[in-house]
């Protein structure tokens, strides 16, 4: 059995040495190259301001994160989820650097590369497609992966998209374990094939609530000019 975790993070900024922090973690599990429906997803309160440039990328605001847990409160759950798995990450040094920094700050020194095998999809893509764009969006276009819902970057959404890109890029057909137990089904992602290739994921109740709250915050900060709240054009 091969257990893999597709992982992505969103942060307050780009430079971990300037005490930027993780504000969202998204992980999706694969067993033998099949989605299991198991995931880890958490927004985090960084206890610092988000850079404007970062906010323009992921759309997550400081107000939205005020009531979210600290990294120290979820560190054990995250570690248990990823422990021993192969981590699939796009530009792995960035995410691993931030995660290890967070663990160090919580007085729990962790070397993720020693407890997990790391597959850097960006490094792999550059070897496959030298001299070409190898961003996640570029790879979606190259491999026919649907990323039309990606208005903003988001850790869980990007992990889902990266999983599809990884399976296509490494030559494996995207497939699903349909023989789930009842308990697995309750916690699984609601997934289905679309034209035999792209995937549609239905958000659960908690994700819908967080998404609505985030959209309302963005709308408030834009003085009600967000397009999704305008009924007439």
Domains of the chain: 3-177 (3.30.420.10)
pLDDT at 175: 43
Catalytic residue at 153? Answer: yes
* Per-residue pLDDT tens over the stretch 26-44: 999 999 999 999 999 999 9
pLDDT mean over 80-103:
97
How far is Cα 156 from Cα 115, in angstroms, rounded to an integer?
A: 22
Tell me phi and psi for residue 98, to 5 degrees.
Answer: -70, -40
* Per-residue pLDDT tens over the stretch 208-221: 777 777 877 777 76
- The residue written with tokens 């490094």 in the block is 123
pLDDT tier, 205 (very low <50, low <70, confident <90, very high otherwise): confident
pLDDT at 177: 40
How far is Cα 2 from Cα 130, in angstroms, rounded to an integer?
A: 29
pLDDT at 210: 77
How far is CA 230 from its chain centroid? 29
pLDDT mean over 48-73:
94
* Per-residue pLDDT tens over the stretch 132-173: 999 999 999 999 999 887 766 889 999 999 999 999 999 854
pLDDT at 206: 73
pLDDT at 129: 96
pLDDT mean over 43-57:
94
How far is Cα 32 from Cα 20, in angstroms, rounded to an integer?
A: 35
- The residue written with tokens 């967000």 in the block is 226
Q: Poorest-confidence range of 59-63, 68-72, 116-120? A: 59-63
Average pLDDT score, the chain: 84
pLDDT mean over 94-102:
96
Structure tokens that stand for 106 in this block: 């919580």
* Per-residue pLDDT tens over the stretch 110-133: 999 999 999 999 999 999 999 999
Which of 23, 17, 16 lies closest to 50 in space, CA to CA?
Answer: 23
> How do strand 86-89 and strand 117-120 relate by DSSP bridges?
parallel
Specify burial of residue 157 (Cβ count, 10 A radius: 0-12, 13-18, 19+).
buried
- Can you tell me whether residue 136 is helix, strand or coil? helix
How far is Cα 59 from Cα 199, in angstroms, rounded to an integer?
A: 23
One of 41, 58, 90, 153 is an active-site residue; which one?
153
pLDDT tier, 185 (very low <50, low <70, confident <90, very high otherwise): very low
38 contacts 187 by C-beta, under 8 angstroms: yes
Q: Compute how many other C-beta atoms are within 10 angstroms of the C-beta atom of residue 8.
A: 27
């Amino acid at each position: 059995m091969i257990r893999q975790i597709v992982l992505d993070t969103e942060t307050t900024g780009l430079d971990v040495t300037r005490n930027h922090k993780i504000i969202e973690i998204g992980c999706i599990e694969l067993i033998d190259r099949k989605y299991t429906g198991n995931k880890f997803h958490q927004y985090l309160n960084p206890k610092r301001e988000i850079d404007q440039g970062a906010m323009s990328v992921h759309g997550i605001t400081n107000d939205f994160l005020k009531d979210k847990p600290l990294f120290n409160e979820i560190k054990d759950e995250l570690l248990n989820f990823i422990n021993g798995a192969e981590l699939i990450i796009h530009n792995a040094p960035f995410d691993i650097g931030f995660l290890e920094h967070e663990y160090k700050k919580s007085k729990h020194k962790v070397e993720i590369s020693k407890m997990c095998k790391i597959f850097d999809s960006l490094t792999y893509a550059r070897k496959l497609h030298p001299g070409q764009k190898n961003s996640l969006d570029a790879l979606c276009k190259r491999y026919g992966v649907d990323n039309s819902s990606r208005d903003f970057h988001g850790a869980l959404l990007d992990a889902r998209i990266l999983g599809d890109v990884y399976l296509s890029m490494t030559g494996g057909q995207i497939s699903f374990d349909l023989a789930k137990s009842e308990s697995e089904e309750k916690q699984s992602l609601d997934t289905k094939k679309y034209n035999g290739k792209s995937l549609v994921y239905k958000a659960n109740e908690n994700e819908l609530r967080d998404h609505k709250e985030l959209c309302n915050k963005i709308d408030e900060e834009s003085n009600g000019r967000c397009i999704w709240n305008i009924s007439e054009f």
